[in-house]
Structure 1
Amino acid sequence: MRPHTPFADRHWDGSRHTPHPHRPLRVAATSPSRLLRAGQSGRCRRCGHHIDWYQRADQRPIALHPTELAASRVPASCRWHLSGGIAHPHGDGSAWCRIPHLVICPGPTPTAPTGPHLESVRRRLAVRTRRLIDTGLFTPAPETTCPAPSSTCEPSARRGSPCRPVVQMLLSRYLAQAPLEDLRCVTQSRQRSRCSQPVLTPATPQGVWTLLPANPQRGQLALPTGTMAVYDLSRLPYTEQLRWRTQRCPSHAATPGAADLTPAGWQPFDPLLHAAHIHTRLPHPPPGRHREA
């Protein structure tokens, strides 16, 4: 009997191979969140326990406890639920809910009563934190604040913007997480890593540094009147301002289905909370990029 040699495109029993084509990962156009869940977990710097990062409806991040708790044992003010990858600060009517990690974090002192069940959870986490510290597996991070405006945060001639500039776009002001030259795209690249391209590129329209009144936005406390240095993008087209708000490079801004690996680093600017980042003089960008108010 002659041995039967299977063809290269068939299995040993003669059945055909059914190769599965590789499909690129895309985010649906109707998805409320473009953030991939992979890589959005971490550890609290105060206690060392696991946390899950989610975006709220206003696109600000929040750290949630990784496990669900019975809604009947959690105060209504501490209940959160997830819908489409977005965290909402109330229950969804189910028997389970998520809670912010800050509510049960053993690091800071709780500012409001949370009930006996959450206090029990907080005590258990405190015991685990002490074990991690005693065994040398965890060291609490010291409280860090931005340096005084008269030192590191002051605009310099070497860089084009302060350490955390204030940017005006889409009729709002935001505090950046880094100098404008260091803002990176948050989109996932083809190598499944974060894109290394900057948001500020010479090939795209750029904003101008200008002195604007440091007026509070709606719902913010008022401060003494004065002017502050703002990187103004309000004269750019809407699509360009949206690219800055989503923190994408020009190539990924033209790819709506591309997913994000990390949230955009913008914070809604508050003159009271971010007073250390208010500068009364213009920085030193390239010539022709200044505009007085």
Structure 2
Amino acid sequence: MRARWAGRGTYLRHVAHACVSPGTVRAMCPTPAPDDRHWDGSSRATHRPRPLRVTTTSPSRLLRAGQTGRCRHCGHRIDLYQRPDQRPIALHPAELATADVPESCRWHLSGGIAYPHGDNSAWCRIPHAVLCPHRTPTCQAGPRLEVIRRQLAVRTRRLIDTGVLTSAPPTTPQPVSPTGGPDRPVVQLLLCRYLTHQRLEDLRCVAQTRHRHRCPNPVLASVGPAGMWKLLPTTARHGQLALHDALMAIYDLSHLSYGEQLRWRTQRCPAHAAVPGAADLALACWEPFDPLLHAAHIHTRLPHSPPRPHRRG
């Protein structure tokens, strides 16, 4: 009996070996999955970083990541955009119905530039100054705007109660900084005069690096041509009241080449000025100089030339 069953087992093994082809046996062997696939052969989702780029035809080089901020008065989010006159404006982050916004407060965006009128659509943007609870409304607000303003006031009170928002003490502009130059100097370039928001040696490049951070290099290059301090007449622009013919200290860049003046106007270091495709992560801190509005920043003495900063890596 045992010999009979042993003979049948040998027969069955020979039959199974004959029915299975060698290629099938090799296919049944376990093989390791590729690196880009799971153990079952399905594709593995890889999240590769996608670089942010700005089209060459865009009038604004500012990325969306550099347009958001916080109001220093109420602590709420604001969106910063450039106006046609290249001055920044803070807009409310949400769109509102055009019927709820007065005509004088309607703004719309086109190509990254904010225009002070509607675009014939049912929605528009509104300046943050109209809704900021710390400021007086610049236009007659309707019922809908009053509701939003009260909501922002309640949130501001919560931020103050929890210690998130603290009121900064008022600072008065100092006539001369410890390095010898004004804290907010007036710069003349491209046949215009601009008031900076900080000292010349503190002007930082606004371009984006390869690591998606803001460039740490200063605009005032350590080597190359630089501007000169001059005493020039304080003249008013066209359409303004005439001022007395006084002299004021101005950091003049008019003797530099057009490319060098354009580099200062775009607030870029020499390395990023040679890269036209690099985007910006912050707005340039240039404000058109108005002798009537900026009378506190008019200085009649020549300061020392700003020191050349060392280039950072």
Q: Specify the TM-score bucket, using the shorter chain as the normaliser.
A: 0.7 to 0.9
Structure 2: distance between partners of 1:127 and 1:23: 39
- Show the counterpart of 1:55: 82
Aligned residue in 1 for 2:207: 187
Q: 2:56 matched to 1:29?
A: yes
Contact 1:208–1:233 at 8 Å: present in 2 too? yes
Equivalenced residues, count: 280
Q: CA RMSD of the aligned region, Å?
A: 2.4
Conserved? CA contact 2:101–2:141, under 8 Å: yes
Unaligned stretches of 5+ residues in structure 1: 288-293
Give the alignment's TM-score, normalised by structure 1. Answer: 0.87
Would you say the 8 A contact 1:106–1:122 is kept in 2? yes
Higher-Rg member (1/2): 2
**Per-residue deviation, residues 30-71 of structure 1 (Å, max 9, x unmatched):** 011111111422222222222111121222111111111100
2:94 equivalent among 59, 67, 90: 67
1:136 and 2:163 are equivalent in the alignment:
yes
1:101 is matched with which residue: 125, 128, 132?
Answer: 128
What letter is aligned with 2:134?
A: G
Residue 153 of structure 1 pairs with residue 140 of structure 2: no
Alignment identity in percent?
Answer: 68
Partner of 2:257: 237
Match of 1:291 in 2: none
- In structure 2, runs of 5+ residues without a counterpart are 1-27, 308-313
Please report how far the alpha carbon of residue 18 of structure 1 lies from its aligned counterpart in structure 2 after TM superposition.
9.7
Provide TM-score, normalisation by structure 2. Answer: 0.81
C-alpha deviations, 1:211-270, integer Å up to 9, x for none? 100001223333222011111111111111000000000010000110111101111111
Q: Could you say what secondary structure the match of 1:63 adopts?
A: strand
Q: Return the offset for 1:162.
A: 1.5
8 Å Cα contact 2:102/2:140 also seen in 1: no
8 Å contact 2:104–2:139 — kept in the other structure? no
Residues 245, 126 of structure 1: alpha-carbon distance in 2 compared, 3 angstrom cutoff: same
**In the TM superposition, what is the alpha-carbon distance from 1:14 to its structure 2 partner?**
5.5
Superposed CA deviations along residues 126-172 of structure 1, whole A, max 9, x for unmatched, are: 23322332343333344x3433xxxx3226xx625211111000110
The structure-2 alpha-carbon separation of the partners of 1:8 and 1:129, relative to structure 1 and needing over 3 Å to count, comes to: closer
Instruction: Report the Cα distance in structure 2 between the residues aligned to 1:137 and 1:182, rounded to whole angstroms.
Output: 28
Q: Distance in 2 between matches of 1:30 and 1:124?
A: 39
> Separation in 2 of the partners of 1:258 and 1:25?
9
Aligned residue for 1:174? 194
* 1:119–1:20 CA distance, 2 compared to 1 (3 A): closer
Among 283, 286, 301, the residue aligned to 1:281: 301
More helix by share: 2
Matched residue, 1:116: 143
